[in-house]
Amino acid sequence: MMAVSALAQASIVTAPAGSPAAWAWLLPVVPALSAGVLLLGGRRLGRGAGWLAVAISAITLGMAGWLVTWLAARPPGQRRVTHTVADWISAGELEVGWAVLVDPLSAAMLLLVTGVGTLIHLYSIGYMAGDERFSRFFGYLNLFLAAMLVLVLGESLLVLFVGWELVGLCSYLLIGFWFDERPNASAAKKAFVVNRVGDVGFLVAMFVVFGAVGSLSLTQVLPAADTVAGGLVVAVGVLLLLGATGKSAQIPLYVWLPDAMAGPTPVSALIHAATMVTAGVYLVARMSPWYAQVPGVGMLVAAIGAATALVAALIACAQLDLKRILAYSTISQLGYMFMAVGVGAYGAGVFHLLTHGFFKALLFLAAGAVMHAMGEHTDIRVMGGLARAMPVTAVTAGLATLAIAGFPLTAGFFSKERILAATADTDGGAALLVVGLIAAALTAFYMARWFWLIFMGRPRWGRGAAPIPADAGRSTAPPPPRDLHPHEAGWTMAVPLVLLAVGSAAGGLLTVGAEHGLLAQWLAPSVVAFESSAHLIGHGLLQAIAITLALAGLAAGAWRYRAGPVATSPASAPVVGFARDAFRVDALLRAAVVTPGRWLAEGAVWVDTHVIDGAVNGAARLTRGLAQGGRQLQTGLVRGYALAVLVGAVVVLVLLARTNLTAAVFGALGAP
Amino acid sequence: MSLAAGYVLGLAAALFAVGAVGVLVRRSAVVMFMCVELMLNSVNLTLVTFSRVNGDVEGQVLAFFVIVVAAAEVTVGLALIVNLFRLRVSTDADQVDVLRA
């Protein structure tokens, strides 16, 4: 362990002129321009719009590859370079430039985003074929790519935040892509609003950082961590964590991600599994020097991650929608990443981020292929036996299932083992380790259930389909679809599946080599190294336990659902129903947040209509009433006016007659 | 040698009262107009009387002013009445109440 920590973080230097890093700013600009073209004039391109987007995405992948090759050729101590393209804000002490930071961490993210992004662009050509807003979809995807690259490359926290908000926008646009159906539109709104809560934390964290350091540039912020007062570091750590829980769907802000499945499936794969939702993990890893100062906050991060991993895994066991299972699985796996970065194993967290990017994207793409084959049915109870009709999808999805379950030698096995080992080497990590192991077993169970109910067993669709056992709780089993002829999708959808399957199977290669593997060495200049503070359990024993639990979970899932869905026994029905309703968190939130908010809004409306409008309308009514009285005097009759004048004159004279003045006048006259 | 001022003032007051009542009770615009003239001239009479009593010509000068203004007023007033008659084929002042609110 100490050997790794000897690889200290490298300082950030300016990129040599003309080097690839000095051109890295083109990475987000190219897809952004393409997004503009596609959104403004994409309709005329027809199917070409999709191919343009794929080409642009492939170009960014090539550029990222070129950049990373160049970076890898430099000595490790000089692998963190920055390049300023233009000034943005210059106000007093605040100086923010459009600058990129290319370092091993952002390079790893670049390859993931552009690589998985390109595959999903390709897949989308097949998946979205025939959609009436085909070109707009690809415009949004390219825009997302640009936004994610801004997030990853941003050298200033503010630029990073710009990317952070732009990916949120793209997420909103793509969740609500089929906005003509109300649930989709409200799912998009929910994602946006819940993320806003986290963004407040991020914003305030930036204020604190600027107040403490006087700059938002990572070049200055990162090394300043040990000079800032401890309380401020804690504040920044907690506030950034709030932001990260929003974007990465952790407790308490995870509720938007399951609903985000309303979007097209490639979106779920790209944004809500592989890339955007990992931004919170990326942020914590990026700020690792700050989190390393306050291990207590780190433990909070890890505790939130562990709780999320367990809760989401439990919920996933009871879900019936094939995409919602994967959504809760994503939340759970993100919890693992939070556990890793929380205990200071940033390398392990990023490793799981990368491998998860492969196998979860693959699972979603396979789910999309299944949905296509099943005529957009998503209830896993009406599936079964699809492996015969869709062998490629079944085999690749099976590989991904093994990978996420932690089957030995798959990518997920290595990355999850790395995280569990890190918790085992952390003082006070025993609870994290136990929760992590339980969640690992649950993951294997619900993924086996997912795979088995979809691909194995007897078909529960088509003409001779057996009736589906009625289920507990409120949900009743849907009738099996009758007229279905599932078949494999075209090559544009198959190629990404196969390539991602290769990644899911071989991702573990990133850990071969000396000193904790290639990836750990590669990331060492960027993140604070993990420091072991305890040794709760031998790594060999831990590995044996993890493998046993994974195999047991897989076997239990496959055995229980070997013959299709199982009717819930009356005794367990309340528990299953509770988990199927996602622990009624949505209902709780509605009661605790949404309803009081509505009351507040209705109260404000009442004040507006009664007090404020009342004052305005009251003033008008008073004026009107006075005027009504005045109107009555205006009869239009000349003689009436004449009488009024006469009466007035007499009154004035009488009043005058009572004064000394008139007495004097009359006296002077000597009137008779 | 001359009439006591009080008698003249009494006549003026009577004329004014006749004019005022005429304006108030008659409906014909022409008669009302004539009554207004009566009131104006009763005032003229008052002005001249006080002028004589005080041995000051200012009151008489003011009476001339009133006569001149009254002449102008007659022009305008008669023109109005003529136009009113053309419009309504009547000079009844009570029928002209378009300014009623």
What CATH number corresponds to the domain at position B35?
1.10.287.3510
Question: Distance (Å, rounded) from C-alpha A284 to C-alpha A294?
Answer: 12
Residue A200 has pLDDT above 60, yes or no: yes
Looking at residue B31, what is its pLDDT?
A: 92
> Which has the higher per-residue pLDDT, A51 or A579?
A51
Selected residues 637-666 of chain A with any CB under 8 Å from a CB in chain B? 637-639, 642-643, 646
- Taking the model in full, what pTM does it have? 0.81
Of B20, B53, B97, the CB nearest to A637: B97
Asked if A642 lies within 8 A of B98 by C-beta distance, the reply is no
Predicted confidence band of residue A77 (pLDDT cuts 50, 70, 90): confident
Looking at residue A546, what is its pLDDT?
A: 93
Distances (CA, A) of A154 to A72, A473, B15: 20, 48, 101
Average pLDDT over residues A59-87: 92
Predicted confidence band of residue A578 (pLDDT cuts 50, 70, 90): confident
Asked if B24 lies within 8 A of A632 by C-beta distance, the reply is no
Average pLDDT over residues A477-487: 77
Least confident of A75-84, A194-203, A321-330, A513-522: A513-522
Q: Locate the chain B residue with the closest alpha carbon to A640.
A: B24
By the 8 A CB rule, do A20 and A67 touch? Answer: yes
Looking at residue A582, what is its pLDDT?
A: 85
For testing contact with chain A, the best of B50, B80, B95, B97 (most A CBs within 10 A): B97
Predicted confidence band of residue B16 (pLDDT cuts 50, 70, 90): very high
**Which chain B positions have a beta carbon within 8 Å of A636's beta carbon?**
96-101
Q: Which amino acid is at A190?
A: K
Residue A311 has pLDDT above 70, yes or no: yes
Predicted confidence band of residue A471 (pLDDT cuts 50, 70, 90): low
Question: Distance (Å, rounded) from C-alpha A353 to C-alpha A347?
Answer: 10
Average pLDDT over residues A70-79: 90
Question: Distance (Å, rounded) from C-alpha A145 to C-alpha A138?
Answer: 10
Looking at residue A40, what is its pLDDT?
A: 92
Question: Distance (Å, rounded) from C-alpha A522 to C-alpha A352?
Answer: 15
Share of chain A above pLDDT 90, in %: 63
* Helix, strand or coil, per DSSP, at residue A361: helix
Asked if A638 lies within 8 A of B96 by C-beta distance, the reply is yes
Overall number of domains in chain B: 1
Question: Distance (Å, rounded) from C-alpha A478 to C-alpha A481?
Answer: 9
Residue whose entry in the numeric block shows the structure tokens 């005058």: A656
Of A630, A636, A639, the CB nearest to B99: A636
> Which has the higher per-residue pLDDT, A357 or B101?
A357
Question: Distance (Å, rounded) from C-alpha A73 to C-alpha A69?
Answer: 6
Question: Distance (Å, rounded) from C-alpha A172 to C-alpha A57?
Answer: 21
Looking at residue A130, what is its pLDDT?
A: 87
Selected residues 9-38 of chain B with any CB under 8 Å from a CB in chain A? 20, 23-25, 27, 32
Tokens of A517: 């593997």
Residue B9 has pLDDT above 60, yes or no: yes
Looking at residue A93, what is its pLDDT?
A: 83
Average pLDDT over residues A622-633: 90
Degrees to nearest 5, angle at CA A442 with A108 and A307: 70
Residue A3 has pLDDT above 70, yes or no: no
Looking at residue A116, what is its pLDDT?
A: 95
> Which has the higher per-residue pLDDT, B91 or A660?
B91
Taking the mean position of all CA atoms in its chain, how far away is CA A499? 25
Residue A1 has pLDDT above 60, yes or no: no
Predicted confidence band of residue A2 (pLDDT cuts 50, 70, 90): very low
DSSP H/E element including A389: helix A386-389
pLDDT digits (tens, 9 = 90+) for A590-601: 898 889 999 999
Please count the other Cβ atoms lying within 10 Å of the Cβ belonging to residue A624: 9
What is the pLDDT of chain A when averaged over all its residues? 89
**Which chain A positions have a beta carbon within 8 Å of B100's beta carbon?**
634-637
Looking at residue B62, what is its pLDDT?
A: 93
Minimum distance, in Å, between the CA of residue B27 and any CA atom of chain A: 8
Average pLDDT over residues A501-515: 82
Q: Give me the total of CB pairs closer than 8 Å, taking one residue from chain A and one from chain B.
A: 40
The secondary structure of residue A581, as a DSSP letter, is T
Share of chain A above pLDDT 70, in %: 95
Degrees to nearest 5, angle at CA B40 with B37 and B42: 110
According to DSSP H, which parts of A128-229 are helical?
134-153, 157-175, 182-213, 218-221
Predicted confidence band of residue A474 (pLDDT cuts 50, 70, 90): low
pLDDT digits (tens, 9 = 90+) for A263-292: 999 999 999 999 999 999 999 999 999 999
Average pLDDT over residues A508-524: 79
Looking at residue A579, what is its pLDDT?
A: 84
Beta bridge partners of A95: A90
Looking at residue A666, what is its pLDDT?
A: 64
Predicted confidence band of residue A513 (pLDDT cuts 50, 70, 90): low
Minimum distance, in Å, between the CA of residue A647 and any CA atom of chain B: 11
Asked if B93 lies within 8 A of A638 by C-beta distance, the reply is yes
Looking at residue A647, what is its pLDDT?
A: 93
Q: Which amino acid is at A193?
A: V
By the 8 A CB rule, do A468 and A382 touch? Answer: yes
Question: Distance (Å, rounded) from C-alpha A415 to C-alpha A278?
Answer: 15
Residue B100 in contact with partner chain A when CB distance is under 8 A? yes
Average pLDDT over residues B83-99: 84
Largest CA distance in chain A: 138
Quote the domain boundaries for residue B47.
Answer: 5-99
Looking at residue A470, what is its pLDDT?
A: 65
Distances (CA, A) of A255 to A15, A171, A188, A599: 41, 15, 12, 22
**Which chain B positions have a beta carbon within 8 Å of A653's beta carbon?**
none
According to DSSP H, which parts of B1-101 are helical?
5-25, 29-54, 58-88
Structure ipTM = 0.85
Residue A473 has pLDDT above 60, yes or no: no
Average pLDDT over residues A234-253: 93
pLDDT digits (tens, 9 = 90+) for A22-44: 999 999 999 999 999 999 988 88
A385 CB contacts (<8 Å, ≥6 apart)?
A455, A456, A457, A458, A459, A460
> Which has the higher per-residue pLDDT, A622 or A571?
A622
Average pLDDT over residues B68-85: 92
Q: Locate the chain A residue with the closest alpha carbon to B100.
A: A636
Residue A405 has pLDDT above 50, yes or no: yes
Looking at residue A143, what is its pLDDT?
A: 96
Tokens of A59: 């170009």
Q: In what order do the strands lie in the sheet with A13-14?
A: A13-14, A81-91, A94-102
Distances (CA, A) of A86 to A60, A90, A99, A100, A147: 21, 11, 7, 10, 18
Question: Distance (Å, rounded) from C-alpha A211 to C-alpha A94?
Answer: 10
For testing contact with chain B, the best of A635, A637, A646, A653 (most B CBs within 10 A): A637
Tokens of A168: 């949120």
Question: Distance (Å, rounded) from C-alpha A553 to C-alpha A648?
Answer: 105
Residue B1 has pLDDT above 50, yes or no: no
Average pLDDT over residues B45-62: 91
Q: Locate the chain A residue with the closest alpha carbon to B95.
A: A637
Tokens of A166: 């732009």
